[in-house]
Amino acid sequence: MFVDRVHVPAGLTPDRTERGRWPFTVPAVTQLLDGGLTFTRPVTFLVGDNGSGKSTLVEAIAESFKLDAYGGRLARLHGPPDPTKTPLGEVLRADTTRAGSRMLAGPRRNKKGFFLRAETAFDMTENLGGVPGYWEEDTSALSHGEGFLAMFRAMFDAPGFYVMDEPEAALSFTSCLQLVALLHQLGESGAQVVCATHSPILASTPGADIIEVGPEGFHRARWEELELVDHWRRYMSNPTAYLRHIVP
Protein backbone atom coordinates (compact mmCIF):
# COMPACT_ATOMS: atom_id res chain seq x y z
CA MET A 1 0.00 0.00 0.00
CA PHE A 2 0.99 3.61 -0.51
CA VAL A 3 -1.33 5.63 1.74
CA ASP A 4 -2.24 4.66 5.31
CA ARG A 5 -4.44 7.62 6.17
CA VAL A 6 -5.67 10.99 4.95
CA HIS A 7 -6.42 13.85 7.34
CA VAL A 8 -6.49 17.62 7.73
CA PRO A 9 -3.68 18.85 10.00
CA ALA A 10 -4.63 21.19 12.84
CA GLY A 11 -2.91 24.15 11.19
CA LEU A 12 -4.98 23.73 8.02
CA THR A 13 -8.38 23.16 9.60
CA PRO A 14 -10.96 25.53 8.07
CA ASP A 15 -12.21 28.25 10.42
CA ARG A 16 -15.83 28.56 11.50
CA THR A 17 -16.78 30.70 8.50
CA GLU A 18 -15.19 28.29 6.00
CA ARG A 19 -16.81 25.29 7.69
CA GLY A 20 -20.16 26.89 6.97
CA ARG A 21 -19.54 26.62 3.23
CA TRP A 22 -19.57 23.71 0.79
CA PRO A 23 -17.94 21.18 0.79
CA PHE A 24 -17.21 21.40 4.51
CA THR A 25 -20.92 21.29 5.31
CA VAL A 26 -21.22 17.81 3.75
CA PRO A 27 -21.41 15.34 6.68
CA ALA A 28 -18.76 13.01 5.23
CA VAL A 29 -16.35 15.92 4.77
CA THR A 30 -17.07 17.20 8.29
CA GLN A 31 -16.26 13.77 9.67
CA LEU A 32 -13.05 13.65 7.65
CA LEU A 33 -12.03 17.05 9.05
CA ASP A 34 -12.62 15.84 12.60
CA GLY A 35 -11.04 12.41 12.45
CA GLY A 36 -9.44 11.61 9.12
CA LEU A 37 -9.86 8.39 7.18
CA THR A 38 -7.68 5.30 7.57
CA PHE A 39 -7.06 2.75 4.83
CA THR A 40 -6.75 -0.84 6.00
CA ARG A 41 -6.86 -2.88 2.77
CA PRO A 42 -5.42 -2.58 -0.72
CA VAL A 43 -8.84 -1.98 -2.31
CA THR A 44 -11.27 0.49 -0.75
CA PHE A 45 -14.73 1.43 -2.05
CA LEU A 46 -16.73 4.48 -1.08
CA VAL A 47 -20.41 3.92 -1.80
CA GLY A 48 -23.35 6.25 -1.34
CA ASP A 49 -26.11 8.16 -3.05
CA ASN A 50 -25.67 11.21 -5.28
CA GLY A 51 -24.72 14.18 -3.14
CA SER A 52 -23.35 12.09 -0.29
CA GLY A 53 -19.83 13.42 -0.82
CA LYS A 54 -18.05 10.30 -2.03
CA SER A 55 -16.74 11.93 -5.23
CA THR A 56 -15.62 14.97 -3.24
CA LEU A 57 -13.67 12.64 -0.95
CA VAL A 58 -11.96 10.61 -3.68
CA GLU A 59 -10.94 13.69 -5.66
CA ALA A 60 -9.35 15.23 -2.57
CA ILE A 61 -7.65 11.90 -1.75
CA ALA A 62 -6.11 11.90 -5.23
CA GLU A 63 -4.95 15.49 -4.74
CA SER A 64 -3.43 14.66 -1.34
CA PHE A 65 -1.14 12.19 -3.15
CA LYS A 66 -0.40 14.74 -5.89
CA LEU A 67 -2.29 12.74 -8.47
CA ASP A 68 -4.16 14.49 -11.22
CA ALA A 69 -6.34 13.19 -14.02
CA TYR A 70 -3.38 13.19 -16.41
CA GLY A 71 -0.61 11.87 -14.19
CA GLY A 72 1.74 8.94 -14.78
CA ARG A 73 2.18 8.02 -18.44
CA LEU A 74 -0.46 10.58 -19.42
CA ALA A 75 1.85 13.37 -18.22
CA ARG A 76 3.97 12.85 -21.34
CA LEU A 77 1.10 14.03 -23.51
CA HIS A 78 -0.61 16.58 -21.30
CA GLY A 79 2.32 18.45 -19.78
CA PRO A 80 2.37 20.07 -16.31
CA PRO A 81 -0.43 19.26 -13.88
CA ASP A 82 -3.33 21.61 -13.33
CA PRO A 83 -2.36 23.50 -10.13
CA THR A 84 -6.01 24.14 -9.23
CA LYS A 85 -7.23 22.06 -6.31
CA THR A 86 -10.62 21.51 -4.76
CA PRO A 87 -11.28 23.23 -1.39
CA LEU A 88 -10.88 19.92 0.44
CA GLY A 89 -7.85 18.96 -1.64
CA GLU A 90 -6.14 22.19 -0.58
CA VAL A 91 -6.04 21.10 3.06
CA LEU A 92 -6.10 17.28 2.95
CA ARG A 93 -2.79 15.51 3.56
CA ALA A 94 -1.79 11.87 3.06
CA ASP A 95 0.17 9.78 5.55
CA THR A 96 2.20 7.61 3.22
CA THR A 97 3.92 4.27 3.60
CA ARG A 98 7.59 3.97 2.73
CA ALA A 99 6.64 2.97 -0.81
CA GLY A 100 4.30 5.93 -1.06
CA SER A 101 6.97 8.35 0.12
CA ARG A 102 9.40 7.04 -2.48
CA MET A 103 6.84 7.48 -5.23
CA LEU A 104 5.99 11.03 -4.15
CA ALA A 105 9.67 11.97 -4.20
CA GLY A 106 9.98 11.03 -7.88
CA PRO A 107 8.90 12.92 -11.00
CA ARG A 108 5.20 13.06 -11.87
CA ARG A 109 5.62 11.11 -15.08
CA ASN A 110 7.15 8.18 -13.17
CA LYS A 111 4.25 7.85 -10.76
CA LYS A 112 2.53 4.49 -10.98
CA GLY A 113 -1.10 5.33 -10.74
CA PHE A 114 -3.50 8.10 -11.63
CA PHE A 115 -6.85 9.67 -10.83
CA LEU A 116 -9.57 8.41 -13.15
CA ARG A 117 -12.79 10.30 -13.79
CA ALA A 118 -15.34 9.23 -16.38
CA GLU A 119 -14.65 12.28 -18.57
CA THR A 120 -10.91 11.55 -18.48
CA ALA A 121 -11.53 7.95 -19.50
CA PHE A 122 -13.69 8.99 -22.47
CA ASP A 123 -10.92 11.35 -23.64
CA MET A 124 -8.31 8.61 -23.28
CA THR A 125 -10.28 6.00 -25.19
CA GLU A 126 -10.94 8.46 -28.02
CA ASN A 127 -7.34 9.63 -28.44
CA LEU A 128 -4.80 7.08 -27.17
CA GLY A 129 -5.69 3.86 -29.02
CA GLY A 130 -2.65 2.70 -30.95
CA VAL A 131 -0.32 5.31 -29.42
CA PRO A 132 2.99 3.59 -28.49
CA GLY A 133 3.22 2.94 -24.76
CA TYR A 134 -0.52 2.81 -24.17
CA TRP A 135 -2.63 0.12 -25.89
CA GLU A 136 -2.83 -1.42 -29.33
CA GLU A 137 -6.62 -1.46 -29.73
CA ASP A 138 -8.30 1.34 -31.65
CA THR A 139 -10.55 2.19 -28.72
CA SER A 140 -12.24 4.99 -30.67
CA ALA A 141 -13.80 2.25 -32.82
CA LEU A 142 -14.99 0.21 -29.82
CA SER A 143 -18.04 0.70 -27.67
CA HIS A 144 -17.47 2.88 -24.61
CA GLY A 145 -17.52 -0.19 -22.38
CA GLU A 146 -15.05 -2.14 -24.50
CA GLY A 147 -12.81 0.92 -24.75
CA PHE A 148 -12.89 1.45 -20.99
CA LEU A 149 -11.86 -2.14 -20.32
CA ALA A 150 -9.01 -1.98 -22.84
CA MET A 151 -7.80 1.22 -21.22
CA PHE A 152 -8.11 -0.20 -17.69
CA ARG A 153 -6.08 -3.29 -18.62
CA ALA A 154 -3.33 -1.17 -20.16
CA MET A 155 -3.10 1.51 -17.46
CA PHE A 156 -3.45 -0.79 -14.44
CA ASP A 157 -0.33 -2.72 -15.36
CA ALA A 158 1.87 -2.12 -12.31
CA PRO A 159 1.55 -1.67 -8.54
CA GLY A 160 0.61 1.96 -7.93
CA PHE A 161 -1.95 4.24 -6.29
CA TYR A 162 -5.13 4.32 -8.35
CA VAL A 163 -8.03 6.61 -7.44
CA MET A 164 -11.25 6.24 -9.42
CA ASP A 165 -14.56 8.06 -9.50
CA GLU A 166 -17.39 5.83 -10.76
CA PRO A 167 -15.42 3.81 -13.34
CA GLU A 168 -18.53 1.71 -14.03
CA ALA A 169 -20.15 4.59 -15.96
CA ALA A 170 -19.92 2.87 -19.36
CA LEU A 171 -19.78 -0.76 -18.26
CA SER A 172 -22.35 -3.52 -18.66
CA PHE A 173 -22.95 -6.21 -16.05
CA THR A 174 -20.39 -8.52 -17.67
CA SER A 175 -17.83 -5.73 -18.07
CA CYS A 176 -18.25 -4.79 -14.41
CA LEU A 177 -17.39 -8.37 -13.50
CA GLN A 178 -14.24 -8.12 -15.60
CA LEU A 179 -13.29 -4.92 -13.78
CA VAL A 180 -13.87 -6.70 -10.44
CA ALA A 181 -11.31 -9.32 -11.50
CA LEU A 182 -8.86 -6.60 -12.50
CA LEU A 183 -9.26 -4.64 -9.26
CA HIS A 184 -8.80 -7.81 -7.23
CA GLN A 185 -5.62 -8.61 -9.17
CA LEU A 186 -4.36 -5.08 -8.55
CA GLY A 187 -4.84 -5.45 -4.82
CA GLU A 188 -3.05 -8.80 -4.84
CA SER A 189 -0.14 -7.32 -6.82
CA GLY A 190 0.74 -4.63 -4.27
CA ALA A 191 -1.28 -1.79 -5.78
CA GLN A 192 -3.72 0.35 -3.82
CA VAL A 193 -7.14 1.34 -5.15
CA VAL A 194 -9.59 3.90 -3.77
CA CYS A 195 -12.83 3.93 -5.74
CA ALA A 196 -16.15 5.78 -5.49
CA THR A 197 -18.93 3.71 -6.99
CA HIS A 198 -22.69 3.21 -7.31
CA SER A 199 -22.15 -0.37 -8.43
CA PRO A 200 -22.98 -3.23 -6.05
CA ILE A 201 -20.98 -5.44 -8.43
CA LEU A 202 -17.73 -3.48 -8.01
CA ALA A 203 -18.31 -3.20 -4.27
CA SER A 204 -18.39 -7.00 -4.06
CA THR A 205 -14.70 -7.26 -5.01
CA PRO A 206 -13.26 -9.97 -2.72
CA GLY A 207 -11.29 -8.65 0.23
CA ALA A 208 -12.22 -5.00 -0.35
CA ASP A 209 -12.88 -2.53 2.45
CA ILE A 210 -16.24 -0.81 1.99
CA ILE A 211 -17.03 2.63 3.39
CA GLU A 212 -20.65 3.71 3.19
CA VAL A 213 -21.12 7.47 2.80
CA GLY A 214 -24.40 9.11 3.73
CA PRO A 215 -26.25 11.89 5.54
CA GLU A 216 -24.58 11.08 8.84
CA GLY A 217 -21.01 10.86 7.53
CA PHE A 218 -19.26 7.61 6.71
CA HIS A 219 -18.76 4.22 8.31
CA ARG A 220 -17.36 0.83 7.36
CA ALA A 221 -19.89 -1.79 6.34
CA ARG A 222 -20.13 -5.28 4.97
CA TRP A 223 -21.39 -5.69 1.40
CA GLU A 224 -24.63 -7.38 2.45
CA GLU A 225 -25.37 -4.51 4.88
CA LEU A 226 -25.13 -1.74 2.28
CA GLU A 227 -28.22 0.35 1.59
CA LEU A 228 -27.21 0.19 -2.08
CA VAL A 229 -27.38 -3.61 -2.08
CA ASP A 230 -30.67 -3.64 -0.17
CA HIS A 231 -32.32 -1.30 -2.68
CA TRP A 232 -31.16 -3.32 -5.68
CA ARG A 233 -32.36 -6.56 -4.10
CA ARG A 234 -35.77 -5.06 -3.35
CA TYR A 235 -36.11 -3.49 -6.77
CA MET A 236 -35.08 -6.62 -8.69
CA SER A 237 -37.52 -8.75 -6.74
CA ASN A 238 -40.42 -6.29 -7.02
CA PRO A 239 -39.95 -3.22 -9.28
CA THR A 240 -43.59 -2.17 -8.75
CA ALA A 241 -42.92 -1.42 -5.09
CA TYR A 242 -40.67 1.44 -6.25
CA LEU A 243 -42.28 2.42 -9.56
CA ARG A 244 -45.75 3.01 -8.10
CA HIS A 245 -44.31 6.04 -6.27
CA ILE A 246 -42.90 7.70 -9.39
CA VAL A 247 -44.98 6.49 -12.35
CA PRO A 248 -48.67 7.52 -12.47
Kindly report the number of other CB atoms within 10 A of residue 30's CB atom: 15
Quote the distance between the C-alpha of residue 236 and its chain's center.
Answer: 27
Q: How far apart are CA 183 and CA 178, in angstroms?
A: 9
Q: What letter would DSSP give residue 81?
A: P
In the sheet with 192-197, reading across from the earlier edge strand, the strands are: 115-117, 161-165, 192-197, 43-47, 209-214, 217-220
Architecture of domain 3-243 in CATH?
3-Layer(aba) Sandwich (3.40)
d(CA 81, CA 66): 9
* pLDDT tens track for 125-160: 665 555 545 656 666 666 667 777 877 787 787 889
Q: Specify the pTM.
A: 0.89
Q: Over the stretch 67-113, which tens digit does the pLDDT of each residue have?
A: 865 544 454 555 555 667 889 999 999 999 999 999 888 776 666 77
Domain parsing of the chain, residue ranges: 3-243
pLDDT tens, 165-198? 998 988 899 999 999 999 999 999 999 999 999 9
DSSP 8-state secondary structure symbol assigned to residue 185: H
